[in-house]
A and B are shown apart, each in its own frame.
Chain A
């Protein structure tokens, strides 16, 4: 009582001495509220260890489910292998879509909310070329990739270029463009789901050599292409002169410009490449999954979740983010305790929340 009274007197002249318990309580609550507004902390204490413990526990749970029934044919291991491969190929698609988004953001601070539309556009172009015109799949994919790139470049030149530096306005512009594109694609390509048929070479399944399992060859090919694209991008950004300029532009656009580099041209190239990647992702996504209105939003949101996890502007972050998101999605759909399957999005939420609590800029992100 003594100390409490003392503290109260240091808080300044208040009425608590005269007032009743209610006034005292109110005074203290008010002081606490003011304290919260000034120096209070919302940070999740020990969030790192909590997140680590969660990750270890869920990994242990998955492994228990997998190896519980032994390694035999009748156990859960064959199923586990298929789910893991599904997750890997999904991660490949996520990476193809997200790498373009993160490249454009890293350099220009533009969140291209029409990225999903470019993805779907690429897919639809590949579909109409192969199905209606009978074009070879490989040619169709290249055309679709370049078309999405040209489309993205036109978008940048027409609408975004003269709003450079106005991040939020650019985001709103790309949202408006995505609305228009979605409606126009619905008009041209219709509302029914379409699928691009894979090339003959990769159409069938391949044997995996264990448990007599086989797996669609094309899905494995997606993983390979995602890896190749990742390595090519890394080489382009880290080892070429152009990449050096890109990195300089990311670090300090104004200074790079002052040194005589045409930063605007670099931006245009980056936007073109980023949009190409969206189109490539769409062509592959249209072959593995399907193309329908709404897929643009699905892949926009997945790409954004991937870059929030991995960190904006980081290529390695996009790779790690794509892997984490794909594995969490696939495993939580299968390995959650029975009855909790529909709640698998909660696990994705926990993943995003844990990353944001630990590192608000994402795992590999840097403060803007």
Chain B
């Protein structure tokens, strides 16, 4: 038992060291083509996972907000020659503002109705961006570069990798902290029983709206960082296909814990790079994987890992299996 716990710690430590030293350990290609997309997709996915896990709100507007920030920042930096860092901050602020507006509009509903309203709002943003010439139509905005102190994201991704890693870890810790604050506890109360929370004097819609605006700021940050690392962004970066891709990442990783977003984003990035080499119908395979996870393991890969962990520990300790804590098996996503 002790050996297993130690082994588990070693595995986690090795993953931690690999993530920390990645630019030193691996060729540039791995950093720029796998690590950076994993982090930006993961950041967008974690905003969705946060809303769904702690607010009971599955949003399909996250990529739309990602686009609001990314496209605005890119347009300001490239067309208006604003300093990229300032442009990025303006973009993120715009995404948060849009999130406040979207959140206020959608906050009276939950479940599938919330899903539909956010889908509509996100798609309206997509159609708007793909029609307005200032955002480069479908060609997009090219030659978007991060602030000079982050270096060249394609050839020398070390600096920007550490920067984005820092941002990602920062947001992850912020969300973990937030859900323990009175606001976070109230948000979970709103998720579980909005009527009772209303009766207790909490304003349900304001809690949902503020959570949505925070998630919008995170998704917006992901948009700005993605524009920087890809050195381009277009309206097609936020099409419905991409929206569903982020949803796939969140679901495949597991919608019941924040860690799932990173695992899902990593899985999806690796699959999207190596998958097409094996099959022309890569999207079908991904769809089937997505379907299988929704049908069989709503907890996603994190759910699978957690239950393997529990079983191994149970087998080693030879004790009674404690009451099933795996929420995926006993509970359905809230609707």
Contacts and interface: CB of A to CB of B under 8 A. Distances in A.
Interface of A: 36-42, 109, 111, 159, 165-173, 175-180, 182-184, 186-187, 297, 300-301, 304-305, 307-308, 312, 342-346, 348-349, 352-353, 356-357, 360, 368
B284 A168 contact: no
B304 to A, nearest CB: 17
Interface stretch (B74-82, B89-97, B204-212): B204-212
Contacts of B241: 297
Contacts of B104: 42
B245 to A, nearest CB: 9
Contact of A173 (B121, B203, B282, B294): B294
A352 B201 CA distance: 29
B105 A37 contact: no
Please report whether the interface of chain A is mostly helix, strand, loop or mixed according to DSSP: helix
Given A37-B183, A360-B109, A304 B284 contact: no
Contact of A305 (B120, B239, B251, B334): B120
Interface string B102-125: 001111110111011101110110
B208 to A, nearest CB: 10
Contacts of B121: 349, 352
Nearest to A306: B120
Contact of B116 (A39, A169, A304, A353): A304
Given A166-B332, A169-B294, A356 B106 contact: yes
Contacts of B58: 168, 171
B295 interface: yes
A39 B248 CA distance: 37
B131 interface: yes
Contacts of A165: 335
B124 A173 contact: no
B171 interface: no
Interface stretch (B8-16, B40-48, B152-160, B285-293): B285-293
B244 interface: yes
Given A169-B333, A183-B282, 7 more contacts: A37-B183, A167-B112, A172-B247, A180-B291, A186-B283, A308-B116, A312-B113
Contacts of B123: 301
A186 B121 CA distance: 27
B128 A167 contact: no
Contacts of A349: 121, 124, 128
Given A42-B104, A179-B244, A301-B120, A171 B112 contact: yes
6 A-B pairs closest in CB distance: A167-B335, A179-B287, A180-B287, A183-B283, A176-B291, A345-B128
B132 A166 contact: no
24 contacts: A36-B206, A37-B183, A37-B186, A41-B203, A42-B203, A42-B206, A109-B112, A111-B112, A111-B116, A159-B295, A166-B335, A169-B294, A172-B247, A179-B244, A180-B283, A183-B284, A187-B280, A297-B241, A342-B132, A343-B131, A345-B131, A346-B128, A349-B124, A368-B113
Interface of B: 58, 101, 104-109, 111-113, 115-117, 119-121, 123-124, 127-128, 131-133, 183, 186, 201-203, 205-207, 209, 239-241, 244, 247-248, 251, 280-284, 286-288, 290-291, 294-295, 298, 332-335
A304 B120 contact: yes
A136 B105 CA distance: 47
Contacts, number: 144
A171 B206 CA distance: 26
Nearest to B114: A168
A315 B162 CA distance: 54
A362 to B, nearest CB: 9
A351 to B, nearest CB: 10
B273 to A, nearest CB: 18
A296 to B, nearest CB: 9
A182 B209 CA distance: 33
A308 B117 contact: yes
A343 B132 contact: yes
B115 A111 contact: yes
B106 to A, nearest CB: 7
A37 B294 contact: no
Nearest to B333: A168
A173 B281 contact: no
Contacts of B294: 169, 172-173, 176
Nearest to A297: B240
B206 A37 contact: yes
Contacts of B281: 183-184, 187
A360 B114 CA distance: 10
A165 B331 CA distance: 12
Contacts of B282: 183
Contacts of A357: 105
Nearest to B104: A42
A184 B284 contact: yes
A35 to B, nearest CB: 9
Among B111, B286, B287, residue most surrounded by chain A Cβ atoms (within 10 Å): B287
